[in-house]
Amino acid sequence: MEGNITFENWKWSVPDSPRILFAYGDGIGPEIMAVAKNVVDAAAEKAYKGSKHIEWVELLLGEKAEKESGSGLPDTAKEALKDYKVLFKGPLTTPVGGGFRSLNVSIRMLLDLYANIRPVKYIEGLDSPLKRPQDVDMVIFRENTDDIYTGIEWKYDDPELPKLKSFLESDMRIKVDNDAGVGIKPISKSKTERIARMAIKYAIDNNRKSVTIMHKGNIMKYTEGAFRDWAYNVAVAEFRDRVVTEDELSAKYNGVMPSGKILINDRIADNMFQQIVTKPSLYDVILAPNLNGDYISDAAGALIGDIGVLGSANVGDNGGMFEASHGTAPKYAGKNVANPMGMIKAGELMLTFLGWKEAAEAVANAVGTAMKSKKVTSDIARFVGVEPLGTKEFGEFLVSSMK
């Protein structure tokens, strides 16, 4: 059955031939997207022998849309996004220090994609700085809409700032230095609860071992500390029969996890950074507020040796956008040298969210085979010491390995 993907009660309802938007993006986008689409299609074919496949619908975004309509995100694109709700997206240019607002941020807001999800799993053949990189298999859920990223801040000499400082001093008895810039960090209960729910549900649906809440609640008690408490509350109130908290593990289970349950624990942010380096095997799904999540996503990516090979998802209750974690790499555009692996891993993640696990596994296996056989693009070939494949040829290798 062909049709659009629909959403109800956090559940994706996916027809056998879902219509999904894709955008080539800017810079290296068109080359890596062409490869990634072929790989996703080949994986679906391998897994379902024609009974399930994606009906791709092109969405004009970024420079291509700008040329045709004068806007990187024209109204027609907004309408299509609201209609189809799922987008497989190549990287888009964002000008530095002015110009238009990030299209990525605009799309996230349009579809309320409140979770940024980045799986980080070692792929044999990458040049990791760890002794046991094979222990790295984490999925980070970063809250995408709250925290200091809401941009509520004032420069130290903003003419409006003295009003706030005097209110704080007179009404709240808080003295802020005259020469201090000021920012406000909102962390709300509802926004914490929805991402905690999504992370725990993902852990259950994908047979993960644990969800670790990362926070700095010892210092920021009513924002990050509250994030921790609200996330625990969701775990216990909504998933009682599937989760065990760390306190319960020692009090009730003598430190031995009962089978079929997910451990919910928490770690203070600074500890978390050393933990993922020294004991990566203990960490699985990581749930973090926006800023911690931003930091830990790249730190975790570094553990496998190359964050450029990772995909990420922005997901909400009513849609999702899947993309590579890198940008447009303009110096490589049109040269058939860019590595499409990040875009392909984004495709694997999208297949996971569609519930097409067999196809997602086929993608992961094909990438693993290419890496083991040292069939790689130049960014990896240069440290492996082999002749590189072009972008297109790397894609062809993956597709043929699935036949």
With CB under 6 A as the contact rule, the residue among 81, 92, 296, 370 that binds ligand NAP is 92
Binding mask 339-378 for ligand NAP (x = CB under 6 A): x--x------------------------------------
CA distances from 375 to 44, 126, 164, 386, 401 (A): 22, 12, 59, 8, 11
- Which listed range, 53-61, 77-85, 319-327, 360-368, lies at the site for ligand NAP (CB under 6 A)? 319-327
Helix (H) or strand (E) run with residue 247 in it: helix 246-253
Dihedral sign from CA coordinates of 98, 100, 104, 109: positive
- 338 makes contact with ligand NAP (CB under 6 A): yes
Tokens at 315, concatenated: 């997901």
- 112 makes contact with ligand NAP (CB under 6 A): no
- Which listed range, 49-57, 86-94, 107-115, 209-217, lies at the site for ligand NAP (CB under 6 A)? 86-94
Please provide the size of the chain in residues: 403
The amino acid at residue 16 is D
Could you tell me how many residues of this chain bind ligand NAP (CB under 6 A)?
19
CA distances from 318 to 81, 221, 314 (A): 11, 31, 11
- Which listed range, 79-87, 173-181, 328-336, 358-366, lies at the site for ligand NAP (CB under 6 A)? 328-336
With CB under 6 A as the contact rule, the residue among 91, 316, 347, 395 that binds ligand NAP is 91
- 94 makes contact with ligand NAP (CB under 6 A): yes
With CB under 6 A as the contact rule, the residue among 210, 328, 352, 401 that binds ligand NAP is 328
Work out the number of other CB atoms within 10 angstroms of the CB of residue 8. 9
- Which listed range, 71-79, 235-243, 287-295, 320-328, lies at the site for ligand NAP (CB under 6 A)? 320-328
With CB under 6 A as the contact rule, the residue among 361, 379, 393, 396 that binds ligand NAP is 379
Least gap, CB of 356 to ligand NAP (angstroms): 23
- 395 makes contact with ligand NAP (CB under 6 A): no
Closer to ligand NAP by Cβ: residue 14 or 32: 32
Closer to ligand NAP by Cβ: residue 301 or 327: 327
Closer to ligand NAP by Cβ: residue 32 or 362: 32
d(CA 267, CA 309) in angstroms, rounded, equals: 27
- 308 makes contact with ligand NAP (CB under 6 A): yes
Catalytic residue among 46, 64, 216, 261: 216
Cβ atoms 336, 392 nearer than 8 A: yes
Least gap, CB of 194 to ligand NAP (angstroms): 23
d(CA 305, CA 125) in angstroms, rounded, equals: 10
d(CA 235, CA 246) in angstroms, rounded, equals: 12
- 327 makes contact with ligand NAP (CB under 6 A): yes
Q: What is the phi/psi pair of residue 144, to 5°?
A: -110, -5
d(CA 398, CA 382) in angstroms, rounded, equals: 20
Least gap, CB of 335 to ligand NAP (angstroms): 10
- 314 makes contact with ligand NAP (CB under 6 A): no
Catalytic residue among 48, 84, 149, 295: 149
With CB under 6 A as the contact rule, the residue among 14, 28, 87, 272 that binds ligand NAP is 28
CA distances from 181 to 46, 151, 164, 259, 362 (A): 57, 13, 11, 51, 51
- The residues, ordered by sequence, that sit 6+ positions from 112 with a Cβ below 8 Å of its Cβ are 145, 316, 317, 318, 319
DSSP labels, 319-377: EEEEEESS---GGGTTTT-S--HHHHHHHHHHHHHHT-HHHHHHHHHHHHHHHHTT---
Binding site for ligand NAP (CB under 6 A): 28, 32, 91-94, 104, 308, 323, 326-329, 331-332, 338-339, 342, 379
Catalytic residues: 149, 216, 270, 294
